[in-house]
Amino acid sequence: MIKDILTTISSWGSAKKSRHSAKNRLQLVLANDRAGVNPELIEKMRQEILEVVSRYLDIDVAEMDFSIQSSDRTTSLQANLPIRKIKRTRELK
């Protein structure tokens, strides 16, 4: 009983309860399971897509978001690639 009280009190301090981390982790793993891809594959894809897009646009890599998302049993690949500026290759030549 004392142990229960201690756990209750100590849980006040910790901001994040296990329920939320369970849900967040599941959201991610289910999206990956449904798409049939693993994190390595996503990373590889991310790099290849970035490589292609970077030929034409200057992408802000730090701000980019690239993930498999799932809602209502439909899964999609979401890529958000913020553009710094459009490369004017011709003018440079």
Partner 1 sequence: MKCRVIVITSGKGGVGKTTITSNLGTAIAQLGKKVCLIDADFGLRNLDLLLGLEQRVVYTIIDALAGECTLEKAIVRDKRTEGLHLLPAAQNRTKEAITPEQMKEVIEELKPNFDYIIVDCPAGIEMGFRNAIVAATEALIVTTPEVAAVRDADRVVGLLESENMQSIRLIVNRLRPEMVQMDEMISVEDILDLLVVPLIGIVPDDKRIITSSNRGEPLVLSKEPSLPGIAIKNIARRLEGMDVPFLDLMAPQDTLFGRIKRFFGVSQK
By CB atoms closer than 10 A (0-12, 13-18, 19+), residue 68 is buried
Interatomic CA distance for residues 51 and 73, integer angstroms: 30
For CA atoms 76, 77, 83, 89, the dihedral sign is: negative
25 lies in the binding site for partner 1 (CB under 8 A): yes
38 lies in the binding site for partner 1 (CB under 8 A): no
55 lies in the binding site for partner 1 (CB under 8 A): no
Q: Is 56 helix (H, G, I), strand (E, B) or coil?
A: coil
Task: Give 73 or 93: the residue with its C-beta nearer to partner 1.
Answer: 73
x/- track of binding to partner 1 for residues 58-77 (CB under 8 A): --------------xx----
Which residues of this chain interact with partner 1, rule CB under 8 A? 1, 4-5, 8, 11, 17-20, 22-23, 25-27, 29-30, 33-34, 72-73
